[in-house]
Amino acid sequence: MTDKVNAILFHQYGPSPFSEKIRVIFGIKGLDWYAVEQPVIMPKPELTLLTGGYRKIPVLQIGADVYCDTQRIVAEIEKRYPTPSLFRGPNQGLDWCLNSWADRVFFQAVVAVVFGGGAAMADEAFIADREKLTGRAFDVEAMATALPMMKEQLRSHLGWLNAELQDGRKFLKGDMPGFADAAAFYNIAFMLGAYPAIKDMLATLPNLDKWVGAVHAIGHGNRTEMSREESLAIAHDATSITRPQADPHEPNGLVPGDAVTIMADDYGQDPIQGELVTSNAHEIAIKRTTDELGDVVIHFPRAGFFVIKS
């Protein structure tokens, strides 16, 4: 087991679009990783034990450190495996902006088209689960009615990516693939799997169509399967590497040791309680202790998450 304490354990499921973003990043960096398959709908008892209640996918685990949200996962992978970098030089701000666009505006247009177009995965249990997740009706009929409008939205978003590639470059930032490519690609990969008619639209966007092939060819690095039970045993046996650190510019005076509650600001807001270990402008980490796992440190991004002092 000791050799797996520093291994990448990736909690995911095959058709998860956000997981695809990270799988492409494993490919870009040529990493070895373990896939821990999680259910597509609740309950997810092993995952929520590890995360303190966060149920979204994917989640990255390395030993007793648990990283929630792809924003935080990307930053951690880049920190631990800096070569080759996901960024072209030090100016990284716009890559994060593009990622935020892909995860919110672009993703919402893609979801509307995929489910309005009749994706097979939307059975009764899936719909009930996603209604609970979002607190809104998952109305497939309304999405089907809106499909023509959403296709227009989608074409416009895809057009921006196509325009960025018009000088013939292979990837969005040049000759080498990086974060921008993984962030822009996963929504298109999701559509290719669940809404094959997207191929007709891609055929009208030749730069983008070519780029899809190039990103697809990167692959996913070197994947091995691991059971959920083994991943929990690793969390139990490992010790977190995260050290307490105060943030001198913390806008609300939070300090290590404070009891805090963290929740996403969009859907799946399940509050997660713990003791603050470290925070800065882009990261917040809390410690939780359970009989089953002992101490685990759970990491979240700041953008897109609310922190409330308990």
Ligand X SMILES: N[C@@H](CCC(=O)N[C@@H](CS)C(=O)NCC(=O)O)C(=O)O
Q: Minimum distance between the CB of residue 62 and ligand X, rounded to whole angstroms?
A: 16
Residue closer to ligand X, measured from CB, 40 or 233: 40
How does DSSP assign 17-66, residue by residue? Answer: HHHHHHHHHHHHHT-EEEEEE--SSS--HHHHHHHTS---S-EEEETTEE
In angstroms, the CA 28 to CA 31 distance is 8
Look up residue 11 and give its two tokens: 């909690």
HEC states along 212-260? HHHHHCCCCCEEEEECHHHHHHHHHHCCCCCCCECCCCCCCCCCCCCEE
Q: Do 28 and 54 touch, CB atoms closer than 8 A? A: no
The arrangement of strands across the sheet holding 294-301 comes to 222-226, 32-37, 9-12, 59-62, 65-68, 294-301, 283-290, 272-279, 259-264, 305-309
Residue closer to ligand X, measured from CB, 80 or 243: 80
Measured between its terminal Cα atoms, the distance across the chain in Å is: 36
Could you say which residues in the range 176-215 bind ligand X, by CB under 6 A?
Answer: none
52 Cα distance to chain centroid: 17
Give the range of 69-77, 108-116, 198-206, 275-283 binding ligand X by CB under 6 A.
69-77
Going residue by residue from 20 to 49, which x/- string records binding to ligand X, judged by CB under 6 A?
Answer: --------------------x---------
51 binds ligand X (CB under 6 A): no
138 binds ligand X (CB under 6 A): no
Q: Minimum distance between the CB of residue 139 and ligand X, rounded to whole angstroms?
A: 18
Q: Do 74 and 282 touch, CB atoms closer than 8 A? A: no
Burial 28-64 (b: 16+ CB within 10 A, else e): bbebebbbbebebeeebebbbbbbbbbbbbbbbbbbb
16 binds ligand X (CB under 6 A): yes
Q: Minimum distance between the CB of residue 283 and ligand X, rounded to whole angstroms?
A: 14
12 binds ligand X (CB under 6 A): no
122 binds ligand X (CB under 6 A): no
Collapsed DSSP state (helix, strand, coil) of residue 277: strand
From candidates 8, 35, 57, 226, binder to ligand X by CB under 6 A: 57
56 binds ligand X (CB under 6 A): yes
Residue closer to ligand X, measured from CB, 34 or 54: 54
Give the range of 13-21, 117-125, 211-219, 235-243 binding ligand X by CB under 6 A.
13-21
From candidates 49, 122, 133, 140, binder to ligand X by CB under 6 A: 133
Residue closer to ligand X, measured from CB, 4 or 44: 44
55 binds ligand X (CB under 6 A): yes
70 binds ligand X (CB under 6 A): yes
Interaxial angle between packed helices 93-101 and 179-194, expressed in degrees from 0 to 180 and rounded to the nearest 10: 20
Q: Do 10 and 226 touch, CB atoms closer than 8 A? A: no
17 binds ligand X (CB under 6 A): yes
Could you say which residues in the range 247-286 bind ligand X, by CB under 6 A?
Answer: none
Q: Minimum distance between the CB of residue 291 and ligand X, rounded to whole angstroms?
A: 25
95 binds ligand X (CB under 6 A): no
From candidates 69, 78, 164, 283, binder to ligand X by CB under 6 A: 69
Binding residues for ligand X, rule CB under 6 A, total 12
Binding site for ligand X (CB under 6 A): 16-18, 40, 55-57, 69-71, 103, 133
